[in-house]
Structure 1
């Protein structure tokens, strides 16, 4: 529920999710939802790129399977955690999509950084 409480203030104060100043991200709830969707899509694209890069680096079928299983479980956790934090769609009104997308974005940013660290490491002790 914390995303419901802070979402509008963040979008209005920071312009989060706006890719250009010309894009109106805080005039209506629909525009804020659209901006949150664009921000999440960009992060999801980065997540997929980092995941593919790590999969390409891994040497054994076992390590590839381990990453694949970890990623599936992480996705399930992320989605369940955001549902817990934001609540059910039917209880959230018109702000729910934006709040849900902001939560997904926050969680995805963390995973992108984890995968970037794996991709940057490439030394002894890194996942293979």
Structure 2
């Protein structure tokens, strides 16, 4: 593991929210992408994160649709829809705050990793939403 890669892992770990003790469910392809020589550069990391974000965003959308199907009443569906829209706005604004061109390219990695991490964690939460209820 290169020093840059190790430093980025430490930095991105610090950015991840501490609300969940478990790591989010990432694909094995994501780890392989980051471990590849092309995944060791800043641009390579951003590309790997982008590819995994697309996969996690698709999983999030599937989990949301499934959670909506679990809602029996229109008010329950409306409440989940309102929460999801607010969550998306928060995720996007909060993660965007981690990037500024004056902070160097590592801030792009931090912001992209924030979006990925939050999306995967929200997908995890929606997969379990109201399963028992």
TM-score normalised by length of structure 1:
0.70
* Alignment RMSD: 2.9
Unmatched runs of 5 consecutive residues or more in structure 2: 1-5, 13-28
1:112-123 equivalences under 5 Å are 112-118=123-129, 121=131, 123=132
- Answering whether residue 63 of structure 2 is matched by residue 50 of structure 1, we say yes
1:90-101 equivalences under 5 Å are 90-101=101-112
1:44-123 equivalences under 5 Å are 44-84=57-97, 86-88=98-100, 90-118=101-129, 121=131, 123=132
Cα distance in 2 between the residues matched to 1:116 and 1:6: 32
Unmatched runs of 5 consecutive residues or more in structure 1: none
Cα distance in 2 between the residues matched to 1:108 and 1:78: 8
Cα distance in 2 between the residues matched to 1:31 and 1:48: 26
Residue 87 of structure 1 deviates from its aligned partner by 3.4
Contact 2:68 2:80 in 1 (8 A): yes
TM-score normalised by length of structure 2:
0.68
